[in-house]
Amino acid sequence: MTGRGIDQVLPNPCDPRLHESYATSAGDYVRLAENMNGPIPKPVEFSYIWGDALEEWRRVEPDARIVNLETSITRSETYAHKGINYRMSPENAGCLRAAGIDCCVLANNHVLDWGCQGLVDTLEVLQQHNVKTTGAGRDIAQARAPAILDAAGKRRVLVFSFASVTSGTPRQWAATPDKPGVHLLPNLSNSVADAIAEQVEQIRRPGDVVVASIHWGPNWGYEIPDEQRSFAHRLIDQANVSIVHGHSSHHPKAIEAYKDRLVLYGCGDFFNDYEGIAGYEEYRGDLAIMYFVTMEAAGSLAGVEMVPLQIKRFRLNRAPAEEVAWLQQTLDREAGRFGARVEPSAHGLKLHWNGPKWRTSGFQGPERSPGSGSHLYGARPRKTSLNPS
């Protein structure tokens, strides 16, 4: 969520006027953050907001960096009457290039906050920055088309993006053959999952890693509805999906390893301008996670490393030890419902699960030589092998 308050501290912000009942200026969110944690050195450089995340990306060197972009990149003044509207100026989109983002999934409840023109502007700006998109488009064909990312060893990562009305995505935002919009799922039924499987099979090649990125569910709470879990399993069983990248919740939720494939039910926000806003403190929305996922050549899950960060002064900083411990305990509790564990690691946290190469006592997989697997962040593949707020 690089819009609104974040846009205001970057070099070339939009008009700060808002159409919210809570605030009339995006600058109000800057002041809230500064009142809580101190002055922000505005205007900041594009790299400033990513903070310590940049060092982690350099360390891991993933093949692909995949994020859910919940911000319209536009100067359009035609806003949707829905309470909250996020936008970032096209001139500030250099912040995405500073992070090396390879793919933005756009099927969510904010990408049309500034109308169809705002969406078209977003698509054009991202194309200019060589960032691939999926999940929204000028028509339904473009919205449904996956982003195809090249990875090491002549492999590909196929990223499909979907929105569910359970996330607050308006039904009227659905793309049609003659109208821009998002790839909106009518429901989470088996028949919808089977239709996705048919689409995937038309595009998939041997060795491809398939990511299904889904914007679903409410902003707060740890509940995983049965229909979400059933849908995720169906995508793995029928579409041979490697990673289900779930998002919408403002905090991390349960993780599952199903048949040696990864299901992230809610990644939480990687970045936002909520600093200083009261409410829901028990969920710790100020804590963010980088998910580095390693895939075997055959498409099965080899490892998940999680790097906890904390948003302060509109910047991602390494999370203090006590916050990492809280995240570990919380995620371990939630993952434990699905037979997985989250434990401390050298760089933060790691996932353990029961599988052919894993035991509950820890990772028992074979030694991997460089180039033998694939790394994804946030739900990102790695540049020296086959690596996603």
SS3 percent helix, strand, coil of the chain, rounded to 5, is 30, 30, 45
Closest CA to 264 of 144, 377, 136, 96: 377
- pTM of the complete model: 0.91
List the CATH number of the domain containing 130: 3.60.21
CB atoms within 10 A of CB 112: 27
Among 130, 132, 156, CA closest to 67: 132
3-state secondary structure of 63: coil
Instruction: Please check whether residue 106 lies inside any domain of the structure.
Output: yes
Q: What is the pLDDT of residue 355?
A: 61
**312 lies in some domain:** yes
- Residue 387 included in any domain: no
Look at residue 382 and tell me if it is in a domain.
no
Would you say how long the chain is, in residues?
389
Would residue 37 count as lying in a domain?
yes
What pLDDT, on a 0 to 100 scale, did the predictor assign at position 55?
Answer: 98
Which pLDDT belongs to residue 362?
33
In a domain, 385, yes or no: no
* Element of type H or E holding 264: strand 261-264
Give, for 185, the enclosing helix (H) or strand (E): strand 184-185
Looking at the chain, list the stretches that DSSP marks H as alpha helix, in order from N- to C-terminal side: 5-9, 27-37, 53-60, 94-98, 115-128, 140-144, 190-203, 226-239, 321-336
List C-alpha distances in Å: 26 to 7, 19, 73, 274: 8, 10, 15, 11
How many domains, in total, are found in the chain? 1
Q: What's the CA gap between 275 and 16, in Å, rounded? A: 17
Q: Are 181 and 142 in contact (CB under 8 A)?
A: no
Range of the structural domain that residue 225 is part of: 5-377
Helix axes 190-203, 226-239, angle to 10 degrees: 30
Residue 256 lies in a domain: yes
Kindly report the backbone phi and psi dihedral angles of residue 264, in degrees, each rounded to the nearest multiple of 5, phi listed first.
-100, 105
Q: Is residue 247 in a domain?
A: yes
Q: What is the per-residue pLDDT for 381?
A: 37
CB 145 within 8 A of CB 182: no
Task: Tell me the β-bridge partners of 181.
Answer: 137
Whether 243 and 211 have beta carbons less than 8 Å apart is answered as: yes
List the pLDDT tens digit at each of the 389 positions of the chain: 999 999 999 999 999 999 999 899 999 999 999 999 999 999 999 999 999 999 999 999 999 999 999 999 999 999 999 989 999 999 999 999 999 999 999 999 999 999 999 999 999 999 999 999 999 999 999 999 999 999 888 899 999 999 999 999 999 999 999 999 999 999 999 999 999 999 999 999 999 999 999 999 999 999 999 999 999 999 999 999 999 999 999 999 999 999 999 999 999 999 999 999 999 999 999 999 999 999 998 778 999 999 999 999 999 999 999 999 999 999 999 999 999 999 999 999 999 998 644 433 333 333 333 333 444 544 333 332 223 34
